[in-house]
Chain A
Amino acid sequence: MPKSAHQQDELQDRINKSLWLIGILSFFFLILLIRIFYIQVIRAETNIRLSKENQMQLKVIKAPRGYIYDRNGVILARNRPSYSIGVLPYKMDKKVDVVANLLKIRDAQGEPIFDSLKLYKRIKKAKRRRFDITRLKEDVSIDIISILEEHAMELPGILVQTEARREYPLGPVSFHILGYMSEIAEEKFDSLKAMGYNYGDNIGQSGLEKQYEPILRGKDGIEYIEVNAYGRSLGPIEHMPRIEPIKGNDLHLTVDSRLQQVIHDTFPDTLKGAVVAINPQNGEVLVMYSSPSLDPNIFSLATSLRAKSWSEAARDPNLPLNNRATSGTYPPGSTFKLVSGLAGIDSDRVNARAFMHRSCTGAYRIGNRVAKCWYAKGHGRLSLRDAVKVSCNVYFYQLGLKTGDNIINQYAENLGLGNLTGIDLPHEKKGWLSGEEAYNKRFAYRNWKWTKGLVLDLAIGQAQTFTPIQMALMVGGLGNKRALYQPFLLRDVTDSEGELIHRIAPEIKRTLNFKEQSLIDIEKAMEEVIVGAGGTGRRSRVPGVRVGGKSGSAENPHGEKTHGLFVACAPLENPVIAIAAVVENAGHGGTVAAPLIGAVLNHFFLETKEGQQYVDPKVLTKLKKKT
């Protein structure tokens, strides 16, 4: 068949093009071949060594967690080294009875460290994850570790791991502020995995450990290590990427651990309650204590011990895990008279210097109801100042009726009551202000309706509930007069080199616009409570410092005795500490709560440098001579 020149050209073109394509293809295959030759022949020795018995392991280098310091640099939380025994099942040798050998190990008291039944179960479970290390025993003493090291040949697959555990040097003194750490729960692990958490990692579970988990945590590193046939590390492998762990950042708190210690020592062990002190000039929390407290170190113990202490704590009817300072809600009792008194005179419904329409005869009648004063004999005619000092109910019943629930609640709200304070701790409670609207809403399901008589309870603080930190904020606001500062625990964040990376600036939560005269009247009344004859707060006196305060006793359905409360601030001219104390079911505030506050205030003003500058120097030298 004849072929045209055109067909010839086309054929040549096809051959040329396909040859070019074959050439390019072969070039790429040559690259592959050269590279394969390089790893399989030239680098063979290294690769064979790395693959033998699978000696290379990816190891996570745990980042040390940041420390927590108090305002004076005292360590509140740090890390300690701890050893644990683990098993890597695929390294176990069928010829060696590892379990039997492990059971032979005894501690210093001659007790075997493993329980045979539990050990069998645990190893059986571990075998399901053949290539993962499963922990058999945590927090083992160094003596036992050296025994293990000696007998490593008889224990193939058993390895020792070093890890850091959280330690709280001051124990129960600041438990509720710091919180505690524990292993991530199985069901929560999946959501945390994406954030770089590994199986078995610890995470902050409450308090600041939880609140500032991302700051404290740091960033885990990674390295490739060479492991021998017994699973012992031979160190990192050269030329393999290594990512250094980054230590978590340190927290510097506003809290003074000395004051914490004072309150921990003074608070009766058998009683429940809370004490909170803040600096009303900037919102720094100086003291936060909730009783009963716990030693957070128990949560860093080995799992078996930890589980026991955990279930004990969780089942304790006294609820030691609750931070009562921020999540306990209590009726404020007569401490609220400061607020209703201020509301009455500041809104001009009541004249501070005048007497009430009816004098106190020990009871007050409204409609069918007879509302009693705590003093059955009656206080007689009183001005506001005296009414606060002796805490006369009948005076405040009348004040409540004149002022009304709305106005009183406005003042309470302005002073931060019945609202979240925004403290940097998890699980803060809000409390409740009461009042007509709130009452009808809350009890609608019971078909209860607000009546005018209920304003009597509201005026004397038996209707609403607040947290202790709200009460400290309130009395601080009365002392500061101009502003309510947002309370906070974390002041500075520093990195591992101690360099300041973040400082929390004080923040004004609300500005206060009360009349100067009303505030002075309230202030005078508060001082009378402490120093006046018949005042309930003499147990909170501090020599050389003007203290103002108010006691309260809250009736409650849970116990025969009332909750004892006390709020105070000092020095009255320009307070630097505002403090509230609540003691559950313990009696009158003046007898049970005021001494706690007295202890803190006395230590603060007389023992710490920070407080001493506010005390008359003559008083200080006099006191020194005495001791």
Chain B
Amino acid sequence: MNYLYKKHHFDFSLFFAALLLWVSGAFLVYSATHIHTTGQLAGVFKSQLVWMFLGVVVILVVVSIPTRFYYHFSYVIYGFSLLLLLYVIFTGIVSKGAGRWIAIGGIRLQPSEFAKIGLLFALAHYLSKNPISLMRISSFIMPGILIIVPFLMVLKQPDLGTALVFCVMSLPMFYWAGMSLLEIVFAISPGFSIVLSAIPLIVAYGTTEAVGIGGAIPWGIFFIVLCLTLYFTRPPTFLIIAVIALNLLAATSTTILWNSFLKDYQKVRIISFINPQADPKGAGYQVIQSKVAIGSGHIFGKGYLQGTQTRLSYLPEQHTDFIFSVLGEQFGLIGCIAILMLFLFILIRSLTATHSIRNRFINLFVVGAVSIIGFHIFVNIAMTIGIMPVTGLPLPFLSYGGSFTITVAALLGLILNAKVGNQDF
């Protein structure tokens, strides 16, 4: 096990992979916005260059801070990010508008982005000292509180996509901190129950025909599989009862929630959230146009700056959430695969770094950072190719956006820090 004792060094390949992605992103942002010589989108490319430069600075700063600083200040960073969220909610109430931003000078910052890092530190710190398992429900109390506070605050904004990031980033960290994969499946099964049991309601909405028993099939299959898993894996009795009860409760409460608490406009929102085709004018329009753009790129793409869909402004948000469709249209399958491989390289290389790091705190935040980046990549690309609802999560390195670029830079800086830093504290 030679690498255990290898001298820690700055990982240039990881750094350059990130730079390469950023430069590609800048080209794509330029392509998406260069036809706008006036108006809101005119200055987007230049400001993205500035953000990228700031991103590199952030990486270098984050790398050079001693790792034990992060460990000791975990909860302080977490608390500070919550204060920023609180401030946004407060000003949002005062101005009676959607509060997502803090304006400092001419720059607008999104505190929900920094809350991801705050939660990452707090969870890593807590879990590094406290193992977690479904067998001891009490071990979930503290992490649960740490997650639910920023979750509710961001949900209030309202930003469901970011709120979900908080949940999803925690799962791999829980896994690392002691939960088995099976336990994780049990823990998130009620979520599946809610989504699957809502299918007949969503299908039935707006039509007079009854869906009938067929609508219950997806949830039914899921529930049978869940029960079989419980039967064969034989977890403790209280866990079996809890999992089954929670799933049944989740499945039945969907109907009650749907029929008595949700207003019509909320139902429509949920439907277009789950099925973009139901709202072809709004969110569905973006997805349909995005699919056509990517699909028309074929193998080699139409060539840089040659995209017809993107050039003609038929794609809204193309420089932010839908940047992947610019890539797909202009660089085709080859371009998509190249970018996906770069992403995968960064994520896998980060995860393998844990082999040589014995410090639990460092490993946990590396896993968390990889989860945040990976979840964004998957959800964003899946959205542009029409297999996930439109959530408004940007694509790391490629999307335009100040706060997000800085956040991704900080996460990457932390991963690099993990590889150079002193682990003894």
Which A residues are closer than 8 A to B by beta carbons?
1, 3, 7, 10-11, 14-15, 17-18, 20-22, 25-26, 28-29, 31-33, 35-37, 39-41, 43-44, 46-48, 50-54, 56, 58, 90, 131, 222, 224, 240-241, 243
Contacts and interface: CB of A to CB of B under 8 A. Distances in A.
Interface in B286-307: 288-289, 291-299
Nearest to A1: B5
Interface stretch (B44-52, B146-154, B238-246, B309-317): B309-317
Contacts of B333: 36-37, 40-41
29 contacts: A1-B5, A10-B358, A11-B4, A14-B354, A14-B355, A15-B355, A17-B176, A18-B351, A18-B354, A20-B175, A20-B181, A25-B351, A32-B340, A33-B340, A40-B294, A40-B297, A41-B298, A44-B296, A47-B295, A47-B296, A51-B292, A51-B293, A51-B295, A51-B329, A58-B280, A90-B312, A131-B314, A222-B281, A241-B284
B285 interface: yes
Contacts of B277: 241
A18 B4 CA distance: 16
Contacts of B181: 20
Given A33-B337, A39-B385, A222-B281, A18 B295 contact: no
B288 A240 contact: yes
B385 A32 contact: yes
Contacts of A54: 308-309, 312, 314
Interface stretch (B60-68, B223-231, B374-382, B405-413): B374-382
B143 interface: no
A35 B387 contact: yes
B355 A48 contact: no
A131 B289 CA distance: 15
Contacts, number: 131
Contact of A51 (B309, B336, B381, B385): B309
A36 B340 CA distance: 11
B378 A28 contact: yes
Nearest to A53: B308
Interface residues of B, number: 55
Contacts of A53: 308
A250 B18 CA distance: 63
A14 B284 CA distance: 43
B332 interface: yes
A18 B313 CA distance: 42
A595 to B, nearest CB: 55
B344 interface: yes
Contacts of A44: 295-296, 298
A41 B299 contact: yes
Interface string B382-396: 100111000000000
Contacts of A240: 280, 288
Contacts of B118: none
A51 B308 contact: yes
Nearest to A46: B295
A36 B387 contact: no
B281 A11 contact: no
Nearest to B302: A51
Contacts of A51: 292-293, 295-296, 308-309, 329
B347 interface: yes
B170 interface: no
A153 B291 CA distance: 31
Contacts of B291: 39, 47
B387 A31 contact: yes
Interface of B: 1, 4-5, 172, 175-176, 181, 277-278, 280-281, 284-285, 288-289, 291-299, 308-309, 312-314, 328-329, 332-333, 336-337, 340, 343-344, 347-348, 351-352, 354-355, 358, 363, 367, 370, 374, 378, 381-382, 385-387
Contacts of B298: 40-41, 44, 48
A261 B130 CA distance: 89
A236 to B, nearest CB: 12
Contacts of B352: 18, 22
Given A39-B385, A40-B294, A46-B295, 6 more contacts: A11-B355, A25-B370, A51-B293, A51-B329, A131-B312, A240-B288
Nearest to B35: A130
Contacts of B314: 54, 131
A21 B172 contact: yes
The 10 closest A-B pairs by CB, nearest first: A47-B295, A51-B296, A39-B295, A241-B280, A47-B296, A48-B296, A40-B333, A18-B351, A44-B298, A50-B292
A224 to B, nearest CB: 7
Contacts of B370: 21, 25
Contact of B296 (A1, A50, A58): A50
Contacts of A17: 175-176, 354
Nearest to B329: A51
B355 A26 contact: no
A222 B280 contact: yes
Contacts of B313: 131
A9 to B, nearest CB: 12
B350 to A, nearest CB: 9
Contact of B336 (A36, A47, A243): A36
A196 to B, nearest CB: 9
Contacts of B295: 39-40, 43-44, 46-48, 51
Nearest to A43: B295
B1 A36 contact: no
Contacts of A28: 374, 378
A35 B385 contact: yes
B294 A36 contact: yes
Given A35-B385, A51-B309, A22 B351 contact: yes
A241 B347 CA distance: 38
A404 B351 CA distance: 97
A457 B180 CA distance: 96
A50 B297 CA distance: 12
A248 B406 CA distance: 52
Contacts of B328: 36, 40
A58 B281 contact: yes
Contacts of A33: 337, 340
A45 B333 CA distance: 14
Contact of A224 (B280, B296, B299, B312): B280
